[in-house]
Structure 1
Amino acid sequence: MVRYLTNSFGGFAGTVLVLVTVTLSFRFTLDPADMPRVLDERLELSLFAENPGIVTPIGIAIDSLNRIFVLESHTHLPPKDYKGPTGDIIKVFVDSNADGRPDKTTVFADGLKEGLNLAFSPEGHLYAVTSRAVWVLYDRNGDRVCEEKKKVLELVEPASVYAHAALLGITFSPDGWMYVSRGNTGGQAWKLVGTDGSSVSGYGDGGNIVRSRPDGARLEEVATGFWNPMDLKFDGKGHLLAADNDPDSRGPNRLVHVVPGGDYGYKSLYGGSGIHPYLAWNGERPGTLPYGVGLGEAPSGLLAAGLAALPPDYRGQMLATIWEESRIVRINLTAKGASLTGYTQVIVEGGQTFRPVAFATDRNGAIYFTDWVLRNYPNHGKGRIWRLTTRKGIAVEKPQPMYAPVGPDAAVEVLNRLYNQSSPAEISQLHTALQAKDPFLRHAATVALARPAFRQQAIDATRDASPLVRLGAMVALQRSGYQPAEPLVRRLLTDPDAQVRQRALQWVGEAGLQEARADLDKALTAGPANPALFETYLETVAHLSSAFIDAYRNRSEAYAKSIKRPLPHQFVENFVADPSRPAVLRAMAIRYLPRPAEQVWLLTQLLTKEQHPQIRLEAIRALAGVPDQAAGRSLLATATNPKNPVSLRAEALLALARQPAEVSASVRPLLNDPNPEIQLEAVRYLRTRLSDSEAQRVLRPRYALQKGGGEEPLRQQLALALSPADAGHKLSHRPASLAEWQTILATGGDAQRGQRVFYSVQAVCSSCHAVQGRGGDLGPDLSNVGQSKSRTQLVQAILRPSKEISPEWQGWYIRLKNGVEHQGRQIDVGEKQIELYTQAAGFVTFAKNDIQDYGMSKTSLMPDGLEQQLTISDLRDLLAFLQAKK
């Protein structure tokens, strides 16, 4: 029986649907093929409710009486002909006989717009997050019907915003604070206001985490630098964790340990790609913090596993719904200094009709989660609620009470002691922490040092002998709004440490300190420079444009990312061509030529007229990507001139392989060059150009000379270019198993040769991976891979790439109706089209009408069989190159 009541409370008027309590008989229509698989055999999954009893559910919360409150969405991009209610509904499900099926359902409240999340406060009141407000919903008489609704936080700006980029998640701390996550509002100016007039605002910044008292008073920012933190929860030790979606081409989605004052690196001012010198995604920039765990695509909900009745090995871990990948993962967390790290394991996996969203647990420790069912964003009338429990007979940990006080944690206490430092007499402790390896300790010390009580000590610390102390002091002073900044920054631009100079450049750009423009070049010449420093320098020059400064300060564009920051006309080109500039800097600048195809004349002049080998080397590398006859001629002339350094000649041959011109006749004489490195690269080039019959005629005589000895890398390269019959005898043994490969590749290799292998057309490594700014971004950056991967791990990653795929690098495919299949790293599915981030062209858009199928790739985007194109010597050299990246 359904009864309609007209209700009005707290300025919120609407029609309240009240489903009068009745006994219901549920007949589930779930196709067995749609049943998600539970990958932990100790757990079991059952369907609790489904449409039409529940449709497009998002948030979920369970009260102390085990009543299940679910936010049913009807305003999430509803189609024009949508038949449902005009407002979102909060339904209450009661399973009074504990049979795993709801026998009573009522409507608690309706009329919400763009509802996203629910949570009960420690006092037992239900809070609802919509895209533009946080509401507290009162049910003082316990009849499961809300009689008063009060707005405690309101997003008063912008006037309109996409729901997934505004207010998102909510949780409460054991000490009673309310924490709310906010998306980046697409770069629009925003302002969030509490009940006492307290507010937080921004423009062009990233998403953030704020907190207030439960009544909406004392609103303040906790941390910033997020993309869209969809959910946040405390774990059993009191760490605040957020699940953050990722910028378009940066990745991965990340689990972040949120600490006071934390900056996690993203700003919407710099667009959606996430690639910019002032940005960080894993603590790469001074003053930003790294993430804890990489997650799969579109994490939506978090749950502290300790709140559930799960096997003992789940204690201290988190669960996350990975909406896009139709999965629930277990996040295995371990301590890492004062923070956390870990890895994920899939425990529930479904198909295209399984889209898990949010979690809650009842007081018995059963887990309930909502399921949007379909990939379609608009409201579609489908929905499910699932119940995840431990099988009978399996030992479980007793669930922790919600909001129970957490016990002492040594790492948290260390951070808190640093945060609470307020006496100048304690400066030595801050100096020590600023030099710690742990970025969270350095951060806590920086936050403390930014207090007015430490102002003079912070200024003095910018002259400390330790570059880490100087760096932390500078970040602290900028955080504190120190003025006048210009004299201090001018000095720091000449600091002997490159990282300090880089951070000073960023301060100049972010603050728009045009008076320091004349000193920017000193940051490049005061000490050794590197590509990251140079890129930051270029962006700082662009930031000091008067047009940009005025537009940003006046908020002249609705979306901050729309404000242009052009470099002065021909700035990089003039920098490269200026002989008065240091050669090493001119060489770096070549990498940043905006349109190398338009600079063939300049590049060929640098290659033929300049004497500095690094300038010539970078000119070669730039010309490699420019298919041009003049470029090809210059590269060939460089390669064949015996007066040139061997390194340049070898690089020129490597670059020639990417040129369309056919010059194999001119390269063949290099097979007899006195230097074996040139011979090696000549064979590598000819492998890409000669037919089988030509290879036999040209390369077999050269191979015959190697039978009696000679350079092993060259002999292997020739052998690989020839079939066994062409070579005239059985080729060198090639391992047949990973274990054999591990043994034969355990040692050896030449890093310089390995760099050429990395950028060769045979290895294709650089198509997807970058090293120090050169290469693609479809796969992880390998600039520091030697720090995190052993040689054994590198061998496995190269030879068996699909054996272990990190969730942050999950591949996706789109299969068109014409049979063509495209693969990429990130996917964005809209109502009428799908975007896929691809190796060749970045984001590519496909009309849904042209698509037959799409989904997650079961294998790595990195192809199998790479070793078939490389010699054993090539692989040893490649490994030596990667191991050196530390």
Structure 2
Amino acid sequence: MLTRTLLCILAIGLFSLAVHAQAPAVGSDQLVLDEDTGISLRPGFDAELIYEVPKSQGSWVAMAFDPKGRLIVSDQDDKGVFRVTLPTATSRSVKVESLPGFPYEPIPWGKRTVGGALGFLYAFDSLYMSNMRGFYRIRDTDGDDEFDEFTLLKKLNVGYEHSAHSIIQTADGKGLYLVSGNFTRTPAGTASVQPPVWLEDSLIPSIPDPMGHAVGLKPPGGWICRISPDGADWKMIASRFRNSVDIALNREGELFTYDSDMEFDVGCPWYRPTRINHVTSGSEFGWRSGSGVWLDYFADSNGSVLDIGPGSPTAISFGHHSNFPAEFQDKLFICDWTFGTIFTVEMKESGSTYTGTKAEFLHGSPLNVAAMRFGPDGAMYFLTGGRTTASRLYRVRYTGSAKPAVVRTPPAPNELRALRHSLEKLHVRAEPGDEVIATAWPHLSHADRNIRYAARIAIECQDVSLWREKVFAESNPRAVIYSGIALCRHGDKSLSRRLLDKLGEVPFAILEKEDRLALLRAYALCFMRMDKPAGEQASAVIARLDAHYPSADDTVNAELWNAELCRVLAALDAPTVVKKTIELMKSTRAETVSYDKTMLERHEYGAAILKMMANTPNARNIHYANSLSRVRSGWTIEARKYYFGWLNEALEKDGGKSFAGYIRAIRTNAIAHLETAEVDLLGGLLSDFPTFDLSKLPKARGPGQEWTVEKAMKLSEPDLRGRNFENGKRMFSAGFCIVCHRVGGEGGHSGPDLGSLSSRYSIRDILVAIVEPSASISEQYMARTVKLKKGDPLSGRLIYRNEKEIGVASNPFDLNQITKAPADDVQSIEFSNISMMPSGLILGMNRDELMDLMAYLLSGGNPQHKAFAKD
């Protein structure tokens, strides 16, 4: 049988330089290479390529099984919906039918026309579908095996790739769950289990993403709704995700999702890796735009079950849907698009929630997994595809030796989980609500974090007048903290002084570790939601907390206490916070980042992260610097010089695409709070950061050509071996690629990192992106068109938007050049279909220069790549 490498060569010519990763040797978990597909997977399993999707059928990203065991799939763009009859023991053929009539409302996205389904589920004798514009119920009403009724149940707000995604059935079998990314606002008419009092709640004012991503998006961010089968009742049960694509229920009926990171923020203290979240009633997971992301330990949020690391989460499913061996039945299978990996996560009960450990189940290169489900036959089926990339349908079956049947022993009753469930039933407004408050209140001091959370939400659902005075009568320190957090979210600002006095009764020194963090969060929420103290009360709060800063305890918990003490004391302009924090900055060292090196080494994209790990920024000091940026009291010239010198040195570290921009923003905020005399004394430390001088970049020798995609594709006829690495690198600069993109850790940050191109995209895809940059634009890099009430519209990257003004960078080669307009002059803001990347950047290159550039891109900046071999 042809190997996958040979199939790729036949499909896209000798231009293909994709290589298979070697399976890591990790004892009994060692993966085995499947020669037929090029996929490395666990021993005893077999991978099979079922169907290679032709370009005419698009790039598939959604899938579900119908009652007859057939797959319903959809192209992401405009090629439509298909039904796939899978091969059987008696027939090896695959039948693919195009299904007519499916709702399609095109959305222009560069030169793409997007609008395909992003999620399917067959339930209640219906096929449910989500796309960027709506949630639909689709039925075959006359039994002829053809869908003929297409009903829009709810209009959805467009969120591009961060739109509504997967649909599953609820644990009780009476409803549906739908998960959505943070770009799609909750639909009109949606009720909420959470009291809808969402705010940014960032004590340090949030810095908008310097790359312009998600600027202006407000809470609640990504959400999960429970929906009745007829689509009439919608209730949001959880929120503040970034872009969870799928959801899954374990055997106990507990809900989980796999949420994405913000890869631009790698190296920053607010960066959170991709993670598994246990979705409980009313849970909030802290996504905010820019630097305002809540940290997992914030008491008014929920933490993760397991942090996975960098990646792009897609599909998830529990193994009890499979016929895999017993050891896999209770594991959660999770798929990563970027690194072409499927992991298993083993859950372990931890109080009323879970902790998890991960292991690789399979990986390939490229293997951009877009969707996955277990079929009626118990095998795993998954699709690769998305963003017009090549799409394939695979099947994974267990073919190892038969293992003795294991009858699963139901876990012992979890009393803590049962208690949490009983509190979650109270997440409704009761009349008058006294009984709910009486039931939930004692559990504000429970030792289990999720139980405390469930109790607080139950109380917050009731009229604040019923429980406001209970806060001030409470004597248990933990209950004071958590009821105080609730009161901050619902109480009147006039209560600020009373609440601060009450929090002052809580003895910081004798609190347990997580209660110290919760107390500091309560102070922060009071400052933000009610009022910041002044005069004698401010001095009293400062004296109360300053005595514990910095902590003498040499533990991770002490580092977190110091971080939050700094945040609160800086907000109060405490007299000693500068001196103490500068001393901390001098002694704090960058923390080792523990990402999965084995996985990162598999792809060029991972090499850039590995470089960051070798030149790790001091994230803790970035937090301290950000906290001090608005402090006016307690500075000396020596402290100022150290502070700005440290920020300048921080720019020499490696991080995500927005990393340097965030450091600049912190620096700009600090400069704005300087006195005039300080500006004169600090001199060169305040000079602007350098940008690329386009006039000094090398130029192509030429003669150039009118390169088109087809003309450039003809270069695939010869092999790319023997290319010139240095010339390819030079062309990366000559074509201005280096100004906006990074390869091998070198280059700008305003465009995508190109280090992983060969692992995810074909040569044609890469050439289309260069020659026709508007053909397909990731939502992370889309420009905006800002229409003004007066004057010409602004077009470019939306850098920031606040109550006073809006800032747009129109020059793709220098995002520091910002055009501003008053906020009240803005008429509308829309995504632009035109890429900020200019076309024609390779027109001056001759044949060899273009081939060397392509080899350089495919190599990820690796001079040892086989494209540069001389043989």
Secondary structure in structure 2 of the residue aligned to 1:415: helix
Rate the CA distance shift 1:207–1:142 in 2: closer, same or farther, 3 A. same
TM-score (norm 1): 0.55
- Are positions 1:346 and 2:347 aligned together? no
The alpha carbon displacement at 1:40 in A equals 0.5
Q: In the aligned structure 1, how far is the partner of 2:407 from the partner of 2:147?
A: 29
Return the letter of the residue paired with 1:525: A
Aligned to 2:714: none
CA contact (8 A) 2:195 2:461 kept: no
The alpha carbon displacement at 1:262 in A equals 0.7
CA contact (8 A) 2:488 2:526 kept: no
Q: In the aligned structure 2, how far is the partner of 1:38 from the partner of 1:350?
A: 6
Within-5 A mapping of 1:593-742: 605=636, 622=643, 625=646
Q: In the aligned structure 2, how far is the partner of 1:595 from the partner of 1:424?
A: 41
Aligned to 2:164: 167
The alpha carbon displacement at 1:208 in A equals 1.6
CA contact (8 A) 1:185 1:207 kept: yes
Rate the CA distance shift 1:289–1:68 in 2: closer, same or farther, 3 A. same
Aligned to 2:150: 149
Aligned to 1:413: 418
Rate the CA distance shift 1:418–1:124 in 2: closer, same or farther, 3 A. same
Aligned to 1:286: 299
User: Deviation digits for residues 68-120 of structure 1, max 9, x if unmatched?
Assistant: 11112224xxxxxxxxx4xx324343446555642463526434342343333
CA contact (8 A) 2:441 2:459 kept: no
Equivalent residue in structure 1 for 2:343, among 283, 307, 329: 329
Return the letter of the residue paired with 1:234: L
Aligned to 2:48: 46
The alpha carbon displacement at 1:523 in A equals 3.6
Aligned to 1:370: 383
Aligned to 1:241: 256
The alpha carbon displacement at 1:264 in A equals 0.8
CA contact (8 A) 2:436 2:459 kept: no
Rate the CA distance shift 1:207–1:462 in 2: closer, same or farther, 3 A. farther
Equivalent residue in structure 2 for 1:74, among 66, 72, 77: 77
Q: In the aligned structure 2, how far is the partner of 1:596 from the partner of 1:243?
A: 34
- Are positions 1:442 and 2:444 aligned together? no
Rate the CA distance shift 1:856–1:448 in 2: closer, same or farther, 3 A. farther
Rate the CA distance shift 1:104–1:534 in 2: closer, same or farther, 3 A. closer
User: Deviation digits for residues 185-211 of structure 1, max 9, x if unmatched?
Assistant: 28xx66444699x99998611212122
CA contact (8 A) 1:253 1:294 kept: yes
Aligned to 2:396: 388
Within-5 A mapping of 1:171-186: 171-175=168-172, 176-185=174-183
Return the letter of the residue paired with 1:366: A
Aligned to 2:211: none
Structure 1 unpaired stretches of 5+: 1-27, 76-84, 542-574, 576-580, 608-617, 628-657, 659-758, 770-774, 778-813, 837-842, 859-886
CA RMSD across the alignment:
5.0
Rate the CA distance shift 1:596–1:178 in 2: closer, same or farther, 3 A. closer
Secondary structure in structure 1 of the residue aligned to 2:231: coil
Q: In the aligned structure 2, how far is the partner of 1:434 from the partner of 1:857?
A: 55
Within-5 A mapping of 1:89-104: 89-95=81-87, 99=91, 101-103=93-95
Rate the CA distance shift 1:332–1:500 in 2: closer, same or farther, 3 A. closer
Rate the CA distance shift 1:510–1:116 in 2: closer, same or farther, 3 A. farther
The alpha carbon displacement at 1:371 in A equals 0.9
- Are positions 1:818 and 2:729 aligned together? yes
Secondary structure in structure 2 of the residue aligned to 1:328: strand
- Are positions 1:57 and 2:66 aligned together? no
CA contact (8 A) 2:352 2:414 kept: no
Aligned to 1:227: 242
- Are positions 1:583 and 2:576 aligned together? yes
Q: In the aligned structure 1, how far is the partner of 2:753 from the partner of 2:332?
A: 27
Secondary structure in structure 2 of the residue aligned to 1:185: coil
User: Deviation digits for residues 494-538 of structure 1, max 9, x if unmatched?
Assistant: 454464653344434553657989965654333346444455448
Rate the CA distance shift 1:127–1:597 in 2: closer, same or farther, 3 A. closer
Equivalent residue in structure 2 for 1:502, among 516, 520, 535: 520
Secondary structure in structure 2 of the residue aligned to 1:237: coil
Aligned to 1:256: 277
Secondary structure in structure 1 of the residue aligned to 2:418: helix
User: Deviation digits for residues 416-463 of structure 1, max 9, x if unmatched?
Assistant: 123246885787874554334432122112122324278645642455
CA contact (8 A) 1:60 1:68 kept: yes
- Are positions 1:120 and 2:121 aligned together? yes
Within-5 A mapping of 1:406-485: 410-420=415-425, 430=440, 433-452=443-462, 456-457=466-467, 459-479=469-489, 485=495
CA contact (8 A) 1:493 1:523 kept: no
- Are positions 1:215 and 2:230 aligned together? yes
Return the letter of the residue paired with 1:416: H
CA contact (8 A) 2:39 2:363 kept: yes
The alpha carbon displacement at 1:465 in A equals 3.6
User: Deviation digits for residues 309-354 of structure 1, max 9, x if unmatched?
Assistant: 11111121111110011111111221122112212222221113x2
Rate the CA distance shift 1:281–1:526 in 2: closer, same or farther, 3 A. closer
Moved more, 172-181 or 581-590: 581-590
Return the letter of the residue paired with 1:379: T
Q: In the aligned structure 2, how far is the partner of 1:856 from the partner of 1:251?
A: 26
Q: In the aligned structure 2, how far is the partner of 1:822 from the partner of 1:317?
A: 36
User: Deviation digits for residues 137-190 of structure 1, max 9, x if unmatched?
Assistant: 1123444421011112222x5xxx44122222222213222111222228xx66
Aligned to 1:82: none
Rate the CA distance shift 1:54–1:517 in 2: closer, same or farther, 3 A. farther
Secondary structure in structure 2 of the residue aligned to 1:71: strand
Q: In the aligned structure 1, how far is the partner of 2:545 from the partner of 2:125?
A: 60
Secondary structure in structure 1 of the residue aligned to 2:252: coil
TM-score (norm 2): 0.56
Q: In the aligned structure 2, how far is the partner of 1:825 from the partner of 1:281?
A: 28
Aligned to 1:746: none
Q: In the aligned structure 2, how far is the partner of 1:478 from the partner of 1:346?
A: 43
Identity of aligned residues (%): 16
Q: In the aligned structure 2, how far is the partner of 1:585 from the partner of 1:596?
A: 7
The alpha carbon displacement at 1:491 in A equals 3.4
- Matched residue pairs, number? 566
Rate the CA distance shift 1:821–1:200 in 2: closer, same or farther, 3 A. same
Q: In the aligned structure 1, how far is the partner of 2:405 from the partner of 2:98?
A: 32
Return the letter of the residue paired with 1:288: S
Structure 2 unpaired stretches of 5+: 1-5, 11-18, 21-36, 106-114, 199-216, 266-270, 509-515, 550-561, 586-623, 657-661, 665-724, 731-742, 755-768, 782-814, 817-835, 843-852, 863-871
Aligned to 1:748: none
Aligned to 2:805: none
The alpha carbon displacement at 1:397 in A equals 6.8
- Are positions 1:307 and 2:324 aligned together? no
Rate the CA distance shift 1:116–1:434 in 2: closer, same or farther, 3 A. farther
The alpha carbon displacement at 1:60 in A equals 0.6
User: Deviation digits for residues 708-733 of structure 1, max 9, x if unmatched?
Assistant: xxxxxxxxxxxxxxxxxxxxxxxxxx
Return the letter of the residue paired with 2:417: V
Return the letter of the residue paired with 1:127: Y
Rate the CA distance shift 1:122–1:280 in 2: closer, same or farther, 3 A. same
- Report which of the two structures shows the higher radius of gyration computed on alpha carbons: 1
Q: In the aligned structure 2, how far is the partner of 1:216 from the partner of 1:517?
A: 55
Rate the CA distance shift 1:384–1:289 in 2: closer, same or farther, 3 A. same
Aligned to 1:722: none
Rate the CA distance shift 1:243–1:584 in 2: closer, same or farther, 3 A. closer
Return the letter of the residue paired with 2:166: G
- Are positions 1:379 and 2:409 aligned together? no
Return the letter of the residue paired with 2:474: D
The higher-RCO structure (CA 8 Å, 6+ apart) is: 2
CA contact (8 A) 1:193 1:200 kept: no
Q: In the aligned structure 2, how far is the partner of 1:539 from the partner of 1:815?
A: 49
